[in-house]
């Protein structure tokens, strides 16, 4: 369990240098976030599962890993798959964690496809601070849905309250429509 400076403390999310299509200001989370996590010096991915799904924006809990909304999304529906255990590198995962990260990644894709029908995804893990990880000490896999002309799909939201609301609404929508096994291929679709 690594301690992190209090200054860095915030709700789970991965701020970094990517150009985002949708950029909620970090203050968007601070109101509830800092009170909620005050005095807790664990990193956000260790702390989040102790709160309710609604508070932490957790979409799905598995046995060894869970899925959470990224508070610094590159796009609407940007999810993170994290082990509960505080490990930083993919090479440190147990077999169970590795399998469940993979399984939950598939479920994220199925669920996002059902709810928001993206045209594609970006999936990946930044390993270590030099690899671009915003919270390098706790492993997380990004699942980012992509649409052709992404920026047109997304609402431009300037107000703090609206952003928080939007993430909360998206969490609810994904959680309630979670797809945990391979969907039947739709007739006349795919090959």
Q: Which is nearer to Zn ion, 57 or 170 (CB)?
A: 57
* 138 scored as a contact of Zn ion (CB under 5 A): yes
* 46 scored as a contact of Zn ion (CB under 5 A): yes
Q: Which is nearer to Zn ion, 58 or 163 (CB)?
A: 58
| Site string (54-93) toward Zn ion, x via CB under 5 A | --------------------------------x-------
Smallest distance from Zn ion to CB 175, Å: 22
Smallest distance from Zn ion to CB 176, Å: 28
Greatest pairwise CA separation for the chain in angstroms: 55
Residue 140 annotated among the catalytic residues of the structure: yes
Q: Which is nearer to Zn ion, 10 or 43 (CB)?
A: 43
For 189, residues 6+ apart whose C-beta sits below 8 A from its C-beta are none
Q: Which is nearer to Zn ion, 38 or 186 (CB)?
A: 38
Smallest distance from Zn ion to CB 63, Å: 17
| β-sheet with 79-83: strand ranges across | 58-61, 65-69, 79-83, 141-146, 120-124
CA atoms within 13 A on the CB side of 82: 29
Phi-psi region of 13 (alpha: psi -120 to 50; beta: other; left: phi over 0): left
Interatomic CA distance for residues 89 and 47, integer angstroms: 18
Instruction: Record the tokens describing residue 100, joined without a space.
Output: 């469940």
Contacts with Zn ion: how many residues (CB under 5 A)? 5
Smallest distance from Zn ion to CB 78, Å: 19
Instruction: Record the tokens describing residue 71, joined without a space.
Output: 């508070």
Interface residues with Zn ion (CB under 5 A)? 43, 45-46, 86, 138
Catalytic residues: 140
């Amino acid at each position: 369990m690594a301690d992190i400076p209090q200054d860095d403390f915030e709700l789970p999310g991965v701020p970094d240098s990517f150009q985002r299509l949708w950029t909620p200001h970090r203050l968007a989370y601070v109101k509830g976030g800092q009170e909620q996590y005050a005095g807790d010096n664990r990193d956000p991915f260790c702390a989040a599962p102790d709160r309710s799904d609604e508070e932490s924006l957790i979409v799905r809990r598995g046995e060894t890993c869970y899925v959470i909304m990224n508070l610094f999304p590159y796009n609407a529906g940007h999810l993170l798959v994290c082990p509960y255990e505080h490990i930083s590198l993919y090479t440190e995962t147990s077999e169970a964690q590795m399998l469940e990260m993979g399984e939950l990644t598939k479920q994220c894709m199925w669920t996002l496809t059902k709810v928001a029908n993206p045209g594609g995804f970006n999936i990946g893990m930044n390993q270590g601070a030099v690899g671009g990880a915003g919270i390098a000490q706790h492993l997380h896999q990004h699942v980012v849905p992509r649409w052709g002309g992404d920026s047109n799909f997304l609402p431009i939201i300037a107000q703090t309250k609206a952003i928080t609301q939007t993430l909360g609404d998206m969490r609810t929508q994904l959680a309630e429509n979670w797809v945990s096994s391979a969907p039947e291929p739709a007739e006349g679709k795919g090959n």
